[in-house]
């Protein structure tokens, strides 16, 4: 085999490898086009979307303050509340703006990326909005929280992290989100839901 062919094959492999890395750094972007998104602490196997939302604490309770059907539960752990507004999408504010919401790590607010101290590289998932439309963003490769925030900010104006613990899972229609995670519904305490 000639040196030119070997060199060309090596170049093609290098280009494909770089392209693969660049594509993997971009998040999977899934629009939520149907139904109303709400926060719930009740498992519903009939839901069109059911995906973990707020963190679950060591005590087995939902971490932070949350709102279901206009009633507020829990104890605040952050100053901001994440409201799931029917026309505005995600509203990140110090007070509630809808009947459903939770507290969670903010990744993007008003188009600006937030920085975080979490150095762990893991698969990530977020709920975000563009012009009032909800989207799910999921990393294709393990990454830090900062890197994930940077990768999604060009797609959305507001975004919050979603729980991706050892038992995180979810689906949208027939599409499973987390084929890479263990399923343990007994430990999950809350979800984003479209019925």
pLDDT at 132: 84
Establish if 102 belongs to a structural domain. yes
3-state secondary structure of 14: helix
Q: Model-level pTM?
A: 0.79
Task: Give me the number of domains the chain comprises.
Answer: 1
Question: What pLDDT was estimated at residue 160?
Answer: 94
Note the pLDDT of residue 128: 93
Per the structure block, which two tokens stand in for 192? 């984003």
Please give the pLDDT value at position 172. Answer: 43
Say what the pLDDT of residue 110 is: 93
Give the residue ranges of the chain where pLDDT is below 50: 15-22, 167-169, 171-183
Instruction: Say if 17 falls within a structural domain.
Output: no
Q: Give the pLDDT confidence score for residue 151 in this predicted structure.
A: 94
Instruction: For residue 41, give Cα distances in angstroms to 54, 62, 79, 100, 117.
Output: 10, 8, 21, 11, 29
Alpha carbons 4 and 9: distance in angstroms, whole number: 9
Q: Is residue 4 part of a domain?
A: no
Task: Tally Cβ neighbours within 10 Å of residue 150.
Answer: 16
Flag whether 42 is in a domain: yes
Residue 187 lies in a domain: yes
Closest of 40, 54, 134, 155 to residue 90, by C-alpha: 134
Its domain, for residue 126, covers: 28-194
Is 20 within a domain?
no
pLDDT at 117: 87
């Amino acid at each position: 085999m000639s040196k030119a062919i070997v060199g060309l094959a090596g170049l093609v492999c290098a280009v494909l490898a770089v392209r693969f890395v660049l594509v993997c750094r971009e998040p999977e972007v899934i629009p939520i086009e149907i139904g109303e998104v709400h926060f719930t602490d009740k498992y519903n196997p009939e839901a069109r979307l059911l995906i973990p939302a707020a963190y679950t604490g060591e005590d087995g309770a939902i971490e932070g303050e949350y709102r279901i059907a206009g009633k507020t539960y829990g104890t605040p752990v952050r100053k901001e509340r994440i409201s799931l507004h029917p026309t505005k999408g995600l509203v990140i504010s110090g007070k509630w703006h809808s009947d459903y919401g939770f507290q969670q790590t903010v990744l993007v607010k008003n188009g600006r990326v937030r920085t975080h101290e979490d150095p762990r590289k893991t698969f990530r998932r977020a709920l975000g909005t563009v012009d009032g439309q909800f989207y799910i963003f999921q990393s294709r490769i393990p990454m830090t929280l900062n890197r994930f925030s940077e990768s999604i900010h060009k797609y959305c104006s507001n975004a919050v992290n979603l729980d991706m613990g050892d038992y995180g899972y979810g689906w949208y229609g027939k599409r499973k989100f987390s084929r890479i995670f263990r399923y343990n519904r007994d430990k999950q305490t809350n979800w984003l839901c479209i019925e």
